[in-house]
Amino acid sequence: MRSIARLLPVLAVPLLVVAGCTGGQGPSGSTPSAATIASAPATASPNAASPSAAPASTDPAASPSINARFAVGDGARQLALVCWGEGSPTVLLETGGANIEEWTGSGVVRRLASGTRVCTYDRAGTGTSDPAPNERRDAEDVAHDIKALLAAADLAGPYVLVGRSFGGMIVTHYAEALPEGVVGVVVLDTPAPSATFTEQSEPGLVWDFPGNTEHLDVVGGFENRFAKDPPNFEVPVLVITPLPGEASAEDEGFWLQVSPKSRQVELACGEEPTAGPCADAVVEFVNGLR
């Protein structure tokens, strides 16, 4: 049974290389088979609202190069953004369902910040970002928030998008819907979307559920939608399945089909998939795109 605990923050509700750059599930719904197992400081943009100054440090991951809130949408809302380091590509870390703290201090940030800019943010209705609009929101709404945030913060491409858990759905959709500047995507511990979830079976994932502060329609706007019509794009994709993790390598292999340039690894990352071998795999992927 797949876990949905990380989809939204408020809801209660090892190295295995998968053969080559094969696709995932094809039209027949088959999944790829596993192969071998091995052990495994600048200031913020002038568009920012009340940025906090970053003290000088020899460790770029020790203090943010950007730590501010930026206007998105019609300008009435602001999203909180934190970046470390400088350089290209810009690596955007999408959370599973928590907030900026999910990535802060992670092995991914510590290792990437020495050579490039790495950023994460609070989605609308989470962390220190403003509340989400009181209406049904889906993947398009999140993607356009991201695009507006990157523009407001003057963060030009190329971009590498890294999505953890629920965030994997967001980054794959973004790469399809708004591909300009996207050069690579990492899907980290993201179970296959479910075509069988309903508003009755998963009431906590309905947009107007009292605890759903993001107002995301996770059932219809993400799970059911992507199960029936997966994103499709051309840039390289790395699917990382941690052990232990949210789902099996076979289940998470669903995401191999989103790009013909996809591959999957299964890594023994312990209880924290943003550290250890999982962090190493993200860094290696980003460095390979330079």
Q: Is 40 exposed, middle or buried (0-12, 13-18, 19+ CB in 10 A)?
A: middle
pLDDT value at 268 more than 70: yes
* Strands (DSSP E) found in the chain: 15-18, 34-38, 66-72, 77-84, 90-94, 117-121, 159-164, 182-188, 237-243, 262-268
pTM of the shown model: 0.82
pLDDT class of 98 with cuts at 50, 70, 90: confident
pLDDT recorded at residue 23: 37
- Helix, strand, coil percentages (3-state) for the chain, rounded to 5, are 25, 20, 55
Class of domain 40-183+199-288: alpha beta
E strand or H helix at 277, and its extent?
helix 276-288
Whole-number CA gyration radius for the chain = 18
Q: What pLDDT is attached to residue 265? A: 98
Span 165-186, average pLDDT? 98
Q: What is the mean pLDDT of residues 246-268?
A: 97
